[in-house]
Amino acid sequence: MSNNLHLNARSTSAPMLFSALPEDLQASLLMASPSRKYGKEQLLQQRGDHADGFWVIAKGSVAVGFFHADGEFRAVALLGPGDSWGELAMFAGRPRVVDAIARTGSVVHFVRAAAFETILAERPAAMRTLLGALSAQLQETLDVMAGIRSGSAKGRVAGMLGALSGGQMGSMTITISQQELAELLGLTRATVSAALRDLEHAGWLKRGYGKIELVHPDELELAALS
């Protein structure tokens, strides 16, 4: 049994915009940005909020998604330490379009738009790296859309688990429920459960309550092709 409990899994492989910046610029922005602590399931932002900056996770895990009218939260992305979100709304000068909650106890920095714009004005070449990261995010979105159109449920589940593993070698355990996995993939819980059962029978993983042990996470890409 793996002793590596992966609490900070991220569901996207594309780089976040903040992480694409040179390390010295990242450090300068974080030093000038206050950190805030949030408890598990505490709300960080709501749709409609004014986008006067963006968030960077220092510790913990954050789910980005939507609250439905009945109060149920549906995640569309899981983010971990070093990840950021909210830059696009800030750039566009438009209200937030997603809600965000802490999946675990988390510490995040809020980078204000004014500080970010000042840094970029001093280092305009950094905009090129931001464009590269944005292009990678767009390509990943297109790949996801293509997978939704043509991929099998088992392949999509395997692909998402591979992304959540972060490319790690050797067995590891990811803390995620089947419901969260279903929400991330736009599938029903029953469909995800059936796919996980097939992958378990094939020896790729072991199911647990609120967690999934990946036996060979580095080989999940092969299962994703099925």
Looking at the domain assignment, is residue 43 inside a domain? yes
Low-confidence ranges of the chain (pLDDT < 70): 1-15, 140-151, 166-167, 221-226
Which structural domain range is residue 46 located in? 18-143
pLDDT score recorded for residue 131: 81
Cα–Cα distance between 85 and 101 in angstroms, integer? 12
Residue 1: inside a domain: no
Task: Note whether residue 9 is domain-resident.
Answer: no
Q: What is the CATH number of the domain that holds 190?
A: 1.10.10.10
Examine the domain organization and report whether 127 and 167 are in the same domain: no
Q: Are residues 123 and 174 in the same domain?
A: no
Contact 78, 164 (CB under 8 A): yes
Q: What's the number of domains the chain is made of?
A: 2
Q: Residue 7 domain-assigned?
A: no
Same structural domain, 32 and 69? yes
pLDDT at 4: 43
CATH assignment of the domain containing 100: 2.60.120.10
Residue 177, pLDDT score: 87
Please report the pLDDT score of residue 50 as a whole number: 92
Same domain, 105 and 160: no
Pair of tokens at residue 71:
């109060």
The closest alpha carbon to 87, from 28, 23, 19, 27, belongs to 19
